[in-house]
Amino acid sequence: MTERLTIRRPDDWHLHLRDGEMLKGVLPHSARDFARAIIMPNLVPPVVRGDDARAYRDRILAALPEGADFTPLMTLYLTEDTDPDDVAEAHASGLVTAVKLYPAGATTNSASGVRDFDKVQGVLERMAEIGLPLCVHGEVTHADVDIFDREAVFIDEVLDPIRRATPGLRVVMEHITTEDAAEYVTEATGDIGATITIQHLMLDRNDMLAGGIRPHFYCLPILKRGTHRPALVEAATGGNPRFFLGTDSAPHATDLKENACGCAGCFTAPIALSCLTEVFDEAGALDRLEGFASLHGPAFYGLPVNQATITLEKGAPIDFSDSVPTGAGPVTVFNPGRPVHWRVAS
């Protein structure tokens, strides 16, 4: 008998859609399976002011396929010059759902991010007052900190001090990759959530580096030692509402990934739900999939849950398409390198 599972339509609480031709090529893959997504603002130039977010939202809506049911939830890119009034106005009008903090230099297009955290304290205090969440790329960028330790150091040196200095600030620790982060989020007092990606639930650094470099597994924060993955799977499948799905699907043209200095990011959107369901099935936690994918995120963001449903079906291993064509070049689709049996049936 075919195994089937129907859940409320999921949302993606961390997504890169890019702009222009890339946006047109990748957007249908998220809009097919997800009702809403938190849209990352790290364009070139970044989405800094309310007006930038409004214009970007209009471009996303214009690029949606006919009949698609997808709502982009916009974010602003926090800089040291961000104006608290502009942020508050964009929030009050319903235009933005969160503000994104990139430590300067941490990842793709983060050069305009924050170097001196004291300079953004005024904005953070305003956000705490109005209840606007801060989405955090949680990595320090000092050259003397090993890339595999950057998340754990960030928690101690940046995140915890910011949260202590700004009572009431609602924080989402994005794409957590370590047991340390899962523990911090589980144990912290106050209003905190965390997103987890598909690749960090399925892979560790050996998958990326042993027996040859696999550039399509390279993302930031980087895949960690294998001991961290089970802690992330436990956090995702354990039913704690602080954890929810954020794919961090981050498309780059294939030639920029398969490159002497390849870009960070895994393009998971087309197969995200198949892979996620496989992970929950393996963990014996299919009954908790809906919480992680469709319920915990809206609860954190104070949004209604989706009324529509999707049905997943288990069968023969699915065929992964290698790549998605876009006007900005083909983009290689994430393939975990092992069979995935679940597909989105309707």
Cα 189 from Cα 209, distance rounded (Å): 37
CB atoms within 10 A of CB 298: 18
Among 71, 79, 82, 107, binds ligand DOR (CB under 6 A): 107
CB under 5 A: which stretch of 97-105, 212-220, 247-255, 266-274 binds Zn ion? 247-255
CB under 5 A: which stretch of 81-89, 214-222, 243-251, 252-260 binds Zn ion? 243-251
Among 188, 264, 344, 345, binds ligand DOR (CB under 6 A): 264
Question: Which residue lies nearer to ligand DOR by CB, 107 or 294?
Answer: 107
User: From residue 310, how far is each of 4, 6, 279 by CA, in Å?
Assistant: 10, 6, 17
Listed in order, strand segments (DSSP E) in 40-141 are 71-77, 96-101, 134-136
Question: Which residue lies nearer to ligand DOR by CB, 193 or 265?
Answer: 265
**Radius of gyration for the alpha carbons in the chain, expressed in angstroms and rounded:** 19
Q: Which does 264 bind (CB under 5 to 8 A by kind): ligand DOR, Zn ion, none?
A: ligand DOR
Binding of ligand DOR by 140 (CB under 6 A): no
Beta carbons of 333 and 322 less than 8 angstroms apart: yes
Question: Which residue lies nearer to ligand DOR by CB, 135 or 295?
Answer: 135
Question: Which residue lies nearer to ligand DOR by CB, 173 or 312?
Answer: 173
Q: Residues 20-49: x/- map of binding to ligand DOR (CB under 6 A)?
A: ----------------------x-------
| Largest CA-CA distance found in the chain, in angstroms, rounded | 60
Among 8, 12, 16, 87, binds ligand DOR (CB under 6 A): 16
Binding of ligand DOR by 112 (CB under 6 A): no
Among 86, 248, 278, 281, binds Zn ion (CB under 5 A): 248
CB under 5 A: which stretch of 64-72, 156-164, 241-249, 283-291 binds Zn ion? 241-249
In terms of Cβ atoms closer than 10 Å to its own Cβ (0-12, 13-18, 19+), residue 137 is buried
Residue nearest to Zn ion (CB): 248
Percentages helix, strand, coil for the chain, rounded to the nearest 5? Answer: 40, 15, 45
Beta carbons of 202 and 43 less than 8 angstroms apart: no
Binding of Zn ion by 151 (CB under 5 A): no
Query: What phi and psi, each to the nearest 5 degrees, are found at residue 232?
Result: -70, -40
CB atoms within 10 A of CB 23: 22
CB atoms within 10 A of CB 220: 21
CA angle 7, 10, 11 (to 5 degrees): 165
Which residues on adjacent β-strands are paired with residue 15? 39, 249
Is there a catalytic annotation at residue 149? Answer: no
Least separation in angstroms between residue 97's CB and ligand DOR is: 18
**Interacting positions 210-239 with ligand DOR (CB under 6 A):** 219-220
Q: Which does 306 bind (CB under 5 to 8 A by kind): Zn ion, ligand DOR, none?
A: none
Cα 57 from Cα 124, distance rounded (Å): 24
**Interacting positions 118-137 with ligand DOR (CB under 6 A):** 137
Question: Which residue lies nearer to Zn ion by CB, 180 or 248?
Answer: 248
Binding of Zn ion by 139 (CB under 5 A): no
Least separation in angstroms between residue 16's CB and ligand DOR is: 5
Which residue in the list 204, 248, 287, 319 is annotated as catalytic? 248
Cα 26 from Cα 247, distance rounded (Å): 14
CB under 5 A: which stretch of 199-207, 215-223, 248-256, 325-333 binds Zn ion? 248-256
| The dihedral sign for the CA sequence 28, 30, 34, 35 | negative
Site residues, ligand DOR (CB under 6 A): 16, 42, 107-108, 137, 219-220, 250, 264-265
Site residues, Zn ion (CB under 5 A): 248
Instruction: Please give the positions annotated as active site.
Output: 248
